[in-house]
Amino acid sequence: MPISERTIEHLARLANLDLDPDERERLAKDLGAILEYVERLADTEEGTALEIPSMTQLREDTPTPPLPSGVAVSVAPERHNELFKVPPVLGSERPKPA
């Protein structure tokens, strides 16, 4: 299935990636080739039940000591006291200092 550069641009937006024009062109070509290869699954028996075995065993619902927040933020690229610090979430204007 051919993939257009517009589709690649849409996927990149969904995946939070910026791509330059060269990357877009290349990825469109690569993904097209890969999707052509996976076309061989098209005749997979319809109506096959999804029987992926579930081995999940949930833990007892008992609280255990969490990672202290000061320790958790110690590896963050930017922090403020025991908080993760990020650029403004809304808009591009930086809030004026109080």
Partner 1 sequence: MSLLALSAPILADRVKKGEIRAAHVVEESLARIEAENPRLGAVLHVAAESARSAARAVDAAIGRGDEPGPLAGVPILLKDNISTIGMPTTAGSRILDGYLPLYDATVVEKLRGAGAILIGKTNLDEFAMGSSTENSAFGITRNPWDMTRVPGGSSGGSAAAVASAMTPVALGSDTGGSVRQPASFCGVYGLLPTYGRVSRYGLIAFASSLDQIGPLARDLGGIRAVFDAIAGHDPRDATSSPDSGMARRDGALRVGIAEGLLSRSGVETGVAARLNETAARLERGGARLVPVTLPDPDKAVATYYLIATAEASSNLARYDGVRYGLRVPGETVESMMRRTRSAGFGREVKRRILLGTFVLSSGYYDAYYVRAQKSRALLRRAFLQLFETVDVVLLPTSPTAAFAVGDRTEDPLAMYLADVFTVYANLAGLPALSVPAGRDAAGLPVGAQLMAPPFGEELLFAAAKHLEGTAA
- Binding residues vs partner 1 (CB under 8 A): 3, 7-8, 11-12, 14-19, 23, 27, 30-31, 33-35, 37-38, 40-42, 44-45, 48-53, 55-60, 67, 71-78, 84, 86-92, 94
Residue among 51 and 97 whose Cβ is closer to partner 1: 51
**What's the rounded Cα separation, in Å, for the pair 50 and 74?**
43
Contacts of 78 (CB under 8 A, 6+ apart): 84, 85, 86
From the CB of residue 41, how many other CB atoms can be counted at a distance below 10 Å?
A: 7
Residue among 66 and 98 whose Cβ is closer to partner 1: 66
**Residue 33: which H helix or E strand, with range?**
helix 21-38
CB of 98 to partner 1, least distance (A): 20
CB of 4 to partner 1, least distance (A): 12
